[in-house]
């Protein structure tokens, strides 16, 4: 199973040093093309830094409902923006029809 990590060089360089395939995000158009090429070549699990999630939203929607690739948000070097948690929460709501995480209008109920 091919794993790919996408993000700015500073945020994902550590993944490259341990042998995980990486795509350093630079100019959006060029990087999107490179990402599509990696998917075509078999990348199935794609970790994307949270700050780039909006840049690839259209591409992710193309693959929505398909088994692969799977896009997983990860924090960048500045820290988490909460997208990973929110992504899982929305998927659970869609699957179960209810918010089992106990969210309300004012924030987390924990």
Q: What pLDDT is stored for residue 17 in this prediction?
A: 93
Domain count, the chain: 2
48 and 96 in a single domain? The answer is no
Per-residue pLDDT of the chain (110 residues; tens, 9 = 90+): 699 999 999 999 999 999 999 999 999 999 999 999 999 999 999 999 998 988 898 999 999 888 899 998 888 888 777 777 777 777 778 778 888 877 654 445 44
**Residue span of the structural domain in which 90 resides:** 81-110
Measured in degrees and rounded to the nearest 5, phi and psi for residue 55 equal -65, -30
Q: What pLDDT is stored for residue 104 in this prediction?
A: 55
20 and 66 in a single domain? The answer is yes
pTM to 2 decimal places: 0.76
21 and 75 in a single domain? The answer is yes
Question: Are residues 34 and 10 in contact, defined by beta-carbon separation less than 8 angstroms?
Answer: no
Q: What pLDDT is stored for residue 9 in this prediction?
A: 94
For 26, other C-beta atoms within 10 Å of its C-beta total 11
For 53, residues 6+ apart whose C-beta sits below 8 A from its C-beta are 71, 73, 83
The CATH number that applies at residue 8 is: 3.40.50.10580
């Amino acid at each position: 199973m091919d794993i790919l990590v996408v993000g700015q060089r500073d945020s994902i360089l550590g993944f490259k040093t341990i042998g995980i395939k990486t795509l350093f995000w630079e100019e959006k158009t060029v990087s999107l093309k490179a990402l599509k090429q990696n998917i075509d070549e078999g990348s199935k699990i794609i970790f994307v830094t949270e700050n780039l999630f909006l840049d690839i939203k259209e591409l992710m929607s193309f693959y929505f409902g398909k088994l692969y690739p799977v896009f997983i948000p990860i924090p960048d070097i500045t820290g988490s923006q909460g997208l990973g948690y929110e992504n899982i929460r929305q998927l659970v709501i869609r699957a179960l029809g209810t918010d089992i995480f106990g969210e309300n209008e004012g924030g987390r109920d924990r």
